[in-house]
Structure 1
């Protein structure tokens, strides 16, 4: 009988540890879910590198008193690179990222054309790169000039000057591509 009481006591002690383990696991899951939800809903603030020189907050957007030209220029260079620099392996992701930067109106106008070009570009051996030489910002429009070079395999087949004009529209302070045109130089 002594042996059975010892087994019974061990069983009760083990159930206690199992209960505590399950309770702590449930608490851990709840805390992790709370952190994930909190991080998804937390606003992101862009802090400029020269914040210590400013005398207050700076608005960027359509409702702002002014839009930093350097800010728009950097975004325009990145957007033109998404459109113009690709290989057959990454052209789909580059164009998808470019389309995500468009306003709904521009996407409705040119989105299907870009999607229609993808099969031909993916099956070709053409790669191209844009080398930016100069940028010029005028209010909500940025002009990006440079050289567009293209290769088929390892042979360079194109090297020409090109200029892009990128116009932005702001939504909740975020600039989206509202107009995109190519100007041959």
Structure 2
């Protein structure tokens, strides 16, 4: 009968090699996850992002955004319709939500310019029970990235009509982090 002797030094050596292999595999996996995450984030910052306004999503028409000035203009006119609606159509119950949505569409420089004034207007109009609506009549795209919107602006304080006038607003857009953001608002 033969007995098998166990080589204790060999077992310890094999265990150490297995631990070393697991450490290397874990390190290699960690490096690859970090590298792939970095590549995904870098790619997402470079990729063009297309926001689809509600008016396009619900319309029975298609818009193709390919990066050419013609399709950019068509896209921006739809985007401007949604943006001007957020800014100029509200009632006391939703004025804060509407203005927050509009402020979220501004570029950082425009946000710094309009934020405090719009927030003060929101507080004032909400406390005075003011409602406003902008009935859009005409939309014109002028290159580079400017959209003029003309229509009838009506404002009520309570149930009394206080403003009823024709107005034209021009929104100027800029690319910011891969999306079109409002860079300026002009009133004519």
Fold shared by both chains (TM-score > 0.5): yes
Residue deviations 1:23-58 (CA, integer Å, cap 9, x gap):
xxxxxxxxxxxxxxxxxx99987899658xx8xxx5
Residue number among 98, 121, 129 corresponding to 1:94 in the alignment: 98
Partner of 2:109: 105
Answer with 1 or 2: which has the greater Rg.
2
1:163 has 2:164 as partner:
no
Partner of 1:37: none
Partner of 1:114: 118
Question: Quick one: distance in 2 between partners of 1:50 and 1:97?
Answer: 25
Count of aligned pairs between the two proteins: 135
Partner of 1:152: 157
| C-alpha spacing 1:142/1:124, structure 2 compared with 1 (3 Å) | same
Question: Quick one: distance in 2 between partners of 1:81 and 1:115?
Answer: 17
The two structures have a TM-score, normalised by structure 1, of 0.64
Contact 2:66 2:72 in 1 (8 A): no
Residue deviations 1:118-170 (CA, integer Å, cap 9, x gap):
22111012111000000100120000000001112223222100000000001
Query: What root-mean-square deviation, in Å, do the aligned CA atoms of Structure 1 and Structure 2 show?
Result: 2.8
1:59 has 2:59 as partner:
no
In structure 1, runs of 5+ residues without a counterpart are 1-40
Residue number among 99, 118, 124 corresponding to 2:128 in the alignment: 124
| C-alpha spacing 1:90/1:143, structure 2 compared with 1 (3 Å) | same
Partner of 1:134: 138
Residue number among 157, 169, 179 corresponding to 1:174 in the alignment: 179
Partner of 1:84: 88
Question: Quick one: distance in 2 between partners of 1:83 and 1:161?
Answer: 16
| C-alpha spacing 1:152/1:45, structure 2 compared with 1 (3 Å) | closer
| C-alpha spacing 1:153/1:46, structure 2 compared with 1 (3 Å) | closer
The two structures have a TM-score, normalised by structure 2, of 0.63
